[in-house]
Chains A and B, each alone.
Chain A
Amino acid sequence: GAGVSQTPSNKVTEKGKYVELRCDPISGHTALYWYRQSLGQGPEFLIYFQGTGAADDSGLPNDRFFAVRPEGSVSTLKIQRTERGDSAVYLCASSAIRGRSDTQYFGPGTRLTVL
């Protein structure tokens, strides 16, 4: 079946603008995760959802970052007043059930560039 998809694949914006990044998880996966990968670094956790609710948002760097998953499927990561330091690849992952060792399947990422 289809894997995790993310749109857009690339996003270029200007400092101070608002952006939305979309993630479509694997069908039927209840858990959804967002990570951020800066150049030369490993992915860094941002937030994860179990169903519609955010189970852990401890990785969101500040209140400019917000994510939703209103129907328990598609998720949107929203960044307000973007800064150059927000430039990174934003990765989304999903897993089948609530099991801590369940495999997280990653999408190809959205590369965000803030000019």
Chain B
Amino acid sequence: AQSVTQLGSHVSVSEGALVLLRCNYSSSVPPYLFWYVQYPNQGLQLLLKYTSAATLVKGINGFEAEFKKSETSFHLTKPSAHMSDAAEYFCAVMTQGGSEKLVFGKGTKLTVNP
């Protein structure tokens, strides 16, 4: 069964600092991987996705993530945090060739301090 582990339920950074949100997956076959962001009282919005093309994926709002098969990781980064990045971030996995359901991690709440 596939699963996702997000290390750190809360991450706090200063404005302008590097953002690093960790995601590790478990899947018996090569997966598709996604990062979603959820702002307060809003729906989930896709930031980026990995679909077996380039291992470094660039998304919206300056975020990017790198698929590392050897580490079964798909960490999300942004070089310089902005106050507007404060939100909850979810990593999700979908098995290639299997059901189209997304399996989500528990989420990481990002706080950006001025």
Spell out A's residues near B (CB within 8 Å): 3-4, 31, 33, 35, 40-45, 48, 55-56, 58-59, 91, 93, 95, 98, 100-101, 103-109
Contact = CB atoms under 8 A, between A and B. Distances in A.
Contacts of A105: 46
B103 interface: yes
Given A40-B106, A100-B100, 13 more contacts: A33-B102, A41-B106, A41-B107, A42-B107, A45-B102, A45-B103, A56-B99, A100-B97, A101-B32, A101-B49, A101-B94, A108-B41, A108-B43
Nearest to A103: B46
A65 to B, nearest CB: 15
A35 B44 CA distance: 11
A104 B97 contact: no
Contacts of A3: 43
Contacts, number: 66
Interface string B90-105: 1010101111111111
A107 B43 contact: yes
A43 B101 contact: no
B14 interface: no
Interface of B: 4, 32, 36, 41-46, 49, 51, 90, 92, 94, 96-107
Contacts of A55: 99-100
A20 B105 CA distance: 27
8 contacts: A35-B104, A42-B105, A43-B90, A44-B104, A45-B102, A59-B101, A103-B49, A108-B43
A48 B49 contact: no
Contacts of A44: 104
A53 B106 CA distance: 29
Contact of B101 (A4, A48, A103, A108): A48
A58 B49 CA distance: 24
B43 A45 contact: no
A55 B97 CA distance: 14
Nearest to B91: A42
A43 B43 contact: no
A91 B44 contact: yes
B11 to A, nearest CB: 15
